[in-house]
Structure 1
Amino acid sequence: MKAIIICESVSHGNTLKVANAIAEVIGANVVKPAEFDAGTACDYDLIGLGSGIYYGKHHKSLMELAEKLPNCRKSVFIFSTSGKGAISQHRHLSDIISRKGYRNAGEFTCKGWDTWGPLKYIGGINRGLPNDAMIERAREFARGLKA
């Protein structure tokens, strides 16, 4: 299976930790959206799209890349880290990949240290997350992608 993970991890490296754990299990490289040629998406059997969540959506660079992906019937999984840790925050990205003809292979999220906006004034929330147990959950999710 040829796989790639496209990840934008900006603030504290939370999402990159998750991306690397998944990549280790499925044998994928991790690249930033700016490093990925959207025209090559159909060359992959499985594509991972992930970032932190900003104002209820994935990072702008990832959303813009998703809009550029060619229509093809490949599998995509979505992941994120955020202060909330809610799958419902994947809706915007999920809608784009569905419209492009991709099959949603699964979604993973977990809480991460969040110092966005006014949270920075109180030291943020979820300090120390994702922790080892959450990273192991990401690996378990990845094992399911290989099945």
Structure 2
Amino acid sequence: MKAIIVCTSVSHGNTKRVADVMGQVLGASVVEPGQVDTAQLATYDLVGFGSGIRNMDFYPQLREFIGALSTSEWPKAFVFATSGFPEPPFRRYVDGLVGKLEQKGFDVVDTFACRGFDTWLPLKLVGGIRKGHPDDNDLAAARAFAEGLRTRVETSS
């Protein structure tokens, strides 16, 4: 299986740490949106899309990258995120990104989220929240997620 992970990790490297763990399991390169030619994505069996969450949404760099993709027949995909808070029921940003990817032609097979150290204002005033996250348990969960994902994608191919 050939995989790649497109990841935007800005503040503390939280999302990159999660992406690197998943990439090890999937044998995938981890790249930023500007580091991959969009035409190359069609040559993969699985594409991961992830970023930290800012203002209850994925980082603009990742959203703009996805928005610039043509509508086509794309490979299977997955979405992941790190955030200081759980996704609120009134702002389903993961579902929103999944919907955008599906509109572009990706078959989104699963999603993953875990907590990450967050110093967005006003949280910065109190030293941030979720210090130490993603922790070993979060990374183990990301590893298990990627192992299950790999098994499902390989058996469905």
* Unmatched segments (≥5 aa) in structure 2: 152-157
Q: 2:94 aligns with which of 83, 90, 95?
A: 90
% identical aligned pairs:
42
**Partner of residue 25, structure 1:** 25
The runs of at least 4 aligned residues of structure 1 exceeding 2 Å deviation read: 85-89
Could you tell me which runs of 5 or more consecutive residues in structure 1 were left unpaired when the two chains were aligned: none
Moved more, 48-57 or 32-41: 32-41
**What is the root-mean-square deviation in Å for CA atoms of aligned residues?**
1.3
Larger Rg: 2
- 2:54 alignment partner in structure 1: 54
Q: Does 1:129 align with 2:130?
A: no
Between 111-120 and 82-91, report the one with greater CA deviation. Answer: 82-91
C-alpha offsets along residues 49-90 of structure 1, whole Å, 9 cap, x if unaligned? 000001111110000111122322411100010011339331
> Could you tell me the TM-score, scaled by structure 2's length?
0.89
| Cα contact 1:86–1:110 (8 A) shared by 2 | no
- C-alpha separation between the residues in 2 aligned to 1:10 and 1:67? 19
CA contact (8 A) 2:41 2:74 kept: no
For residues 91-130 of structure 1, the aligned pairs below 5 Å read 91-130=95-134
1:80 matched residue in structure 2: 81
Matches of 1:40 and 1:119 in 2, distance apart?
A: 39
**Richer in strand (by share):** 1
Structure 2 CA distance, aligned partners of 1:27 and 1:108?
18
* Counterpart Cα distance in 2 of 1:63 and 1:36: 15
